[in-house]
Amino acid sequence: MTQAPRPPLPWTTRISVAVASAVTDAARRSNGTVNRRLLSLLDARSRASAKPHRGVRSADVVVDPVRHIWFRLFAPSDSAAAAGEPFPVIVFFHGGGFAFLSPASRAYDAVCRRICREVRALVVSVNYRLAPEHRYPAPYEDGTDVLRFLDRGGIASADPAAAAADLSCCFLAGDSAGANIAHHVARRWAAGAGWERVRLAGMVLIQPFFGGEERTEAELRLTRGADRDHEASNVFGTRAAAGELEAALPEAMVVVGGFDPLQDWQRRYYEGLRSRGKAARLVEYPDAIHAFYAFPELKQASALMEEIKRFVDAHRSPAK
């Protein structure tokens, strides 16, 4: 059997990837449940900080205490923010296979802080309910409820800079499972009525999780087995809902890594959007692993931040 190719990574990154894999493996039980108590000990977390750190403040905002839905708001803290400069809003959904991590996980706190600082945007990092305790479509419902919360003006009191949030220039973003959630929340936004403030200007889908029962070339080459044909993952498949809502979706930026087993499905998603007449942009990093953006030492992580900034800047609301 031919050995799968190895991505070019620094040894420090390889160690970090190995540790992350060990943590998820240790917390995952054989019956499909997750040992949350053990995971709470292994998942390194960062607190929200009203004191600026590298030009960014953060605060946790509760949306629904019963369902434990909240978000971490990241806001610029420089003079432009103090002067009330309008900022686009990026609603971010973290990855983790729908079952792991949160906005407080150290890696995602760092990623969202970096997006806020380098893109010059308010970042709303959503804590949604996790599987397997909360089944489909719980994360999609939670994400939509956060959008409704923003639409009702719930962000305004979270931070002084949030008063200048430009919700007419709102982006949905996410990575892996979070990018899948961003797509489905966008469809619910398109299907909903009564939106007063929130207008979706675009989607940033970083290595989105999409799949199907068919095993693609990359899955055969980089993994063992694949059997996913639910409408949640195979969004343009035969079981998917009717596609008329796609006409109302905003432009999407789809990010693909050459060492990501999901890459074929990600390109199919991009092609599916284009075939339905939707504007879409494909950004590829041939040497990138899944979740490369969480490792700031990788050059592709810096390149991605530049691409996100260009995409957001191209869709900013004109100066008033």
pLDDT value at residue 320? 46
Second-level CATH architecture of 35-315: 3-Layer(aba) Sandwich (3.40)
d(CA 5, CA 18): 17
Q: Phi, psi (5° rounding) for residue 83? A: -85, 0
pTM score above 0.85: yes
pLDDT value at residue 24? 86
Whether the pLDDT of residue 317 is over 70: the answer is no
d(CA 91, CA 68): 17
Average pLDDT over residues 263-267: 94
pLDDT value at residue 261? 92
The stretches of the chain forming alpha helices (DSSP H) are 11-27, 36-42, 79-82, 106-119, 138-151, 177-191, 217-222, 263-275, 299-314
d(CA 263, CA 138): 25
Average pLDDT over residues 270-276: 92
Non-local CB neighbours of 214 within 8 Å, separated by 6+ positions: 226
Please, are residues 254 and 280 in contact by the beta-carbon 8 Å criterion?
Answer: yes
Whether the pLDDT of residue 238 is over 90: the answer is no
Query: Catalytic residue numbers?
Result: 176, 260, 290
pLDDT tens column, 246-259: 667 899 999 999 99
* Averaged confidence pLDDT in the chain: 87
pLDDT tens column, 47-88: 999 899 888 999 999 999 999 999 999 999 875 565 567 899
For the four alpha carbons of 21, 31, 221 and 173, in that order, the dihedral sign comes to negative
pLDDT value at residue 162? 82
3 state SS of 248: helix
Whether the pLDDT of residue 187 is over 80: the answer is yes
Whether the pLDDT of residue 226 is over 50: the answer is no
Average pLDDT over residues 126-145: 95
Please, are residues 136 and 180 in contact by the beta-carbon 8 Å criterion?
Answer: no
Whether the pLDDT of residue 172 is over 60: the answer is yes
**17 compared with 223, residue with greater pLDDT:** 17
Residue 153 exposure: Cα atoms within 13 Å on the Cβ side = 2
d(CA 214, CA 265): 10
d(CA 11, CA 21): 15
- Of the listed ranges 75-89, 136-150, 228-242, 303-317, the least confidently predicted one is 228-242
Q: Distance between alpha carbon 262 and the CA centroid of its chain, in Å?
A: 15
Average pLDDT over residues 173-195: 93
**197 compared with 192, residue with greater pLDDT:** 197
